[in-house]
Copies of this chain bind each other. A is one copy, B any other.
């Protein structure tokens, strides 16, 4: 079993520090639409970023395992939240990945690596709303 620990200290108003031992402290506010500041991470941003970065790291694991010639990886993620009868609820998180690979066969392998990552990414699996992942791979010109 592994444990991940964070701590929060309220600093008055709607501001708070979130700490994780030995790592940069983050200032957190609500999203701007709920009275927070635009230049700080919100918990909603952190949730989307946690899923997106975990998908990357899980893809990297399969890229290595499947010996895929990948030279570049970028992704964009968007989480959608709506007001429901039960309060604010995330409806889904979608991640669009773009990679550059060395050969056509790497492109096919990459699609499989992303499918595996969708299945095995622990943060994505920890999220109740649907998480959609798509990948577009470009073969680098020789």
Contact = CB atoms under 8 A, between A and B. Distances in A.
A93 to B, nearest CB: 9
Provide the main secondary structure of the chain A interface. Answer: mixed
Contacts of A119: 86-87
Interface in A101-141: 119-120, 122-123, 125-129
Question: In the assembly, how many copies of this chain are there?
Answer: 2
Interface string A38-73: 111111111111111110110010000000000011
Interface size of A as a range? 35 or more
Interface of A: 1-10, 14, 16, 18, 20, 22-24, 26, 28-31, 33-34, 38-54, 56-57, 60, 72-82, 86-91, 119-120, 122-123, 125-129
